[in-house]
Amino acid sequence: MTDQELKDLVANLVTAQANTQAEVAETSRVIKEVGRRMGAMPSNQGDVTEEFFYNSLVAKPALGGIEFDSVTPNLRFQNKGEHDEFDIVLTNGASVALIEVKYKAHLNDLEQAQSKIASYRRWRPEHKDYKVYAGLASFSVPPDVADAAQDKGLFVLQRRGDVIEVDAQRMKAF
């Protein structure tokens, strides 16, 4: 092998290595972007689920025959390093309904829904005489979760039936 052939071989190897590094960098960028988008998906699903149930309850603020006066989304409390958040809270002057919202319900979500009762009572002592109801709202509730919720005295909200509303105030034919 001549000096020139050796120099050409080394130059080709350097070019190939640079190309490989550029391809690896692009692959890493794409993987990071996919990870970012996939990481946001559960949050987006949760936001959509919460919005659906909030809008549904604002339109019809009643649960199990109990009418409510107010529907509050994302009620947050914070004091001295402690904090808690309630996905949806309905109140009427004598009763409170605490709703934990999940895209897909699991058995461990029931414990979280139940724990919200004591937490709410701690944060809102002025409601000490209110009846407190708790439940789970979800787009997907497996039968075993629904049964376990009922056994624990929790209510379950699911989407069913007519779930769309058309805002046609400015609709026109084209």
What are the boundaries of each domain within the chain? Answer: 48-158
One-letter amino acid of 60: K
CATH classification for the domain delimited by 48-158, as one of 3.30.9.100, 3.40.1350.10, 2.40.37.10, 3.40.50.300: 3.40.1350.10
Higher pLDDT, 78 or 29: 78
Q: Give percent of the chain above pLDDT 90.
A: 57
Q: Show the tokens assigned to 75.
A: 């009620």
Which range among 15-24, 30-39, 142-151 has the greatest average pLDDT?
142-151
> For all residues of the chain together, what is the average pLDDT?
85
**Statement: residue 133 has pLDDT above 90:** yes
Q: What is the pLDDT of residue 35?
A: 61
Q: Is 25 helix (H, G, I), strand (E, B) or coil?
A: helix
Q: What is the pLDDT of residue 166?
A: 60
Q: What is the pLDDT of residue 162?
A: 65
How many other C-beta atoms lie within 10 A of the C-beta of residue 93? Answer: 10
Q: Kindly report the CA angle at 128 between 124 and 66, in degrees rounded to 5?
A: 95
Q: Kindly report the CA angle at 155 between 141 and 147, in degrees rounded to 5?
A: 55
Q: Is 151 helix (H, G, I), strand (E, B) or coil?
A: helix
**Statement: residue 121 has pLDDT above 80:** yes
Q: What is the mean pLDDT of residues 142-164?
A: 85
